[in-house]
A and B are shown apart, each in its own frame.
Chain A
């Protein structure tokens, strides 16, 4: 079966760095997505990785290793507004999106 694993909840301190991991087993691979979802709001697109390596976008970076079935989202200089759920999703060979259950990130002052 197809599966995405990510931690249920993480806590970090304002100003610090946090890494949210995502491992996957899917039928084929056509890219990996990260979305951010604040409570009561729409998920919003953060990043898309299809090749191995690190993609940086300001304070957020996303890493992919296809051979290991592994990705992480790195958030630097954490701010209180980064408190949200972070959803990892993989597109399989049939262009179906397989979703993880999300990681709730709590930022403490």
Chain B
């Protein structure tokens, strides 16, 4: 399989649940990202990992917890979420986050609904 794969594609959870989103890239890229996409809003960068080290954490609430066990896999652990966290969560990868021509390859996203 090629590209960036995200699972699950759809997730419905209650505010007290714990769940995880998974992302896998088969491109040999060095950096991986989590973005939040809400309707009619710009993409919000949540976390960036470069060579498996977290290099960016944009004041994301602690109820979101990332994990990057290796350069091909990225997880987003979710617990005690709020209804306003309902959104599309996009994973992306790129070769070099410190390059101007840093083209991102995105996954199709995980649509999260918090009840």
Contact = CB atoms under 8 A, between A and B. Distances in A.
Interface residues of A, number: 25
A97 B100 contact: no
Contacts of B4: 42
A42 B90 contact: yes
A99 B42 contact: yes
A95 B109 contact: no
A103 to B, nearest CB: 11
Interface of A: 4, 8, 30-31, 33, 35, 40-45, 48, 50, 87, 89, 91, 95-102
28 contacts: A4-B42, A31-B101, A33-B103, A40-B108, A42-B105, A42-B106, A42-B108, A42-B109, A43-B90, A43-B104, A45-B103, A48-B101, A50-B100, A50-B101, A87-B43, A91-B100, A95-B98, A95-B100, A95-B102, A96-B45, A97-B43, A97-B45, A98-B42, A99-B42, A99-B43, A101-B40, A101-B42, A102-B40
